[in-house]
Amino acid sequence: MEGRLFHAQIDVTYFPGPLSDGERDALVTALRRDLADFCVTVREDLHTVVVVSAELRADHPVDAITRMSRCLDRALLATGLLEKCDSTGRVLHVRPVHPVRRR
């Protein structure tokens, strides 16, 4: 795939409380179907926040975060976690891995 390397991250709130190890493992397994290299972390704030991040090659940052969002949607749907997450309130982060340097 052509394009630039972007770091993409999605934070999604999980409502029922702490994410169990089994649910986390199921999510990781489902994400592996679409993403080769990624990280899943769980943050406990006011609510449980699941953070999925990966480096993706794309022509535009919107393409990178869109691909990541679609992969997460499929994984949440496959694991039955979609209904337990605030999918429309996701926090999206995307940035180039290597900034362009001006000459």
Please report, as a single letter, which amino acid is at residue 62: V
Q: How far apart are CA 61 and CA 83, in angstroms?
A: 27
Sheet order of strands, 38-44 included: 38-44, 48-58, 4-14, 91-96
pLDDT in tens, 30-51: 999 999 889 999 999 888 999 9
What topology does CATH give the domain 4-96?
Alpha-Beta Plaits (3.30.70)
State the pTM of this model.
Answer: 0.90
pLDDT in tens, 49-95: 999 999 999 999 999 999 999 999 999 999 999 999 998 999 999 99
* Predicted pLDDT of residue 1: 57
